[in-house]
Amino acid sequence: MAAADELPFAPDIPYYFEHFDPQQRPWQPGHGLNFEEVFKNYQYYEISFVKNRREIQVNHYVRGRNEGSEHYRINPDGTLEKLLQ
């Protein structure tokens, strides 16, 4: 997945994943979790695609508590660039 326009996710809708690796080149979100799986996991990542799917907001949850939030730009080559908040 080299470009943000090719990602199969709707903007502004949260998606859930077991892992998040911003160093992956090109970045791919991986296998998503369904709603039931989210509550069975000790930790998970909520990713929302924003700004026409060219940026993502990543929330890290541990035991249902938000442990942090980060924003990234999806570059044309598929890499992520962390944005200052």
Q: What pLDDT, in 10s, does the model give residues 41-81?
A: 788 999 999 877 789 999 999 988 999 999 999 999 999 99
* Residue bearing the bigger pLDDT, 9 or 1: 9
User: Average pLDDT for residues 7-12, to the nearest whole number?
Assistant: 80
The answer to whether 74 and 67 are in contact (CB under 8 A) is no
Predicted confidence band at 85 (pLDDT cuts at 50, 70, 90)?
Answer: low
User: Average pLDDT for residues 18-42, to the nearest whole number?
Assistant: 87
User: Average pLDDT for residues 19-34, to the nearest whole number?
Assistant: 90
- Secondary structure string (H, E, C) spanning 63-77: CCEEEEEEEEEECCC
